[in-house]
Structure 1
Amino acid sequence: MALLQIDVQPNTDGLPGISALSHMTGALLTLGLVAAVAGVAIAAITWAIGSNSSNPHIAGRGKNGVLIAGAAALLIGAANTLVNFFNDAGAAIH
């Protein structure tokens, strides 16, 4: 007795509103990048104030903020590539 083989692929016309959802997701990516830029600016200001006032705790928090905002921008920019990579890797599993 052979098992039924199921082969379902993602498509762009299966549900109404996919185009609008894709457009909204692009807007969220833009919003995330704008927030990351603001985060870098705020963290850099914090880093500068901490360094100039000889406050290593505040300077360290500013450094961490710059790195975190930069990592967030990296992940947002790579979101499509990451999702496509894992989708392709999952599709390759038989």
Structure 2
Amino acid sequence: MPVSPLADHVIQLAYDPGISPKGGGLPGLAVLKNIVNSINLFGIIAAVGALAVSLAVWAWGHHTGGHQAEATGKKGATVAAGAALGLGAANGAVAFFSALGAQVH
């Protein structure tokens, strides 16, 4: 009995290619990890600098009555803190969603 074109298409969609992440398959993986770690560290250092500058602008604006500088300092401090949170949580977030995605069948 011939299979309908729709059923054949559904069977192709359900095909499991059997691919999963595996370390050591390509040369340069250690170098790539080192580069990404360095970029993450650079970002964290930049966030520390941005936070320090933003807090200084916030304090300067507060003490001089510059409401625009105060608001800009608050905004910069919030963004720098959020960036530090994101950079610090990046590895854990990717690991979490990768494990979550591996559970999909």
TM-score, normalised via structure 2 length: 0.84
Structure 2 letter corresponding to 1:72:
A
Structure 1 letter corresponding to 2:20:
Q
Question: How far apart are the structure 2 equivalents of 1:14 and 1:85?
Answer: 23
Structure 1 letter corresponding to 2:31:
A
After TM superposition, list the pairs within 5 Å mapping 1:11-26 onto structure 2: 11-26=22-37
**CA deviation string 1:40-84 (max 9, x = no partner):** 000011101111110111101101111110110001000110000
Larger Rg: 2
In structure 1, the gaps of 5 or more residues are none
Kindly report the root-mean-square deviation, in angstroms, between the aligned alpha carbons of the 2 structures: 1.3
User: Equivalent residue for 2:78?
Assistant: 67
User: Equivalent residue for 1:5?
Assistant: 16
The secondary structure found in structure 2 opposite 1:78 is: helix
TM-score, normalised via structure 1 length: 0.93
> How many Å apart are 1:15 and its aligned residue?
1.0
Count of paired positions: 94
Structure 2 letter corresponding to 1:14:
G
Match of residue 76, structure 1, among 87, 96, 100 = 87
In structure 2, the gaps of 5 or more residues are 1-7
Question: How far apart are the structure 1 equivalents of 2:35 and 2:28?
Answer: 10
User: Equivalent residue for 1:88?
Assistant: 99
Question: How far apart are the structure 2 equivalents of 1:72 and 1:5?
Answer: 38
Runs of 4+ displaced beyond 2 Å: 1-5
Question: How far apart are the structure 2 equivalents of 1:46 and 1:37?
Answer: 14
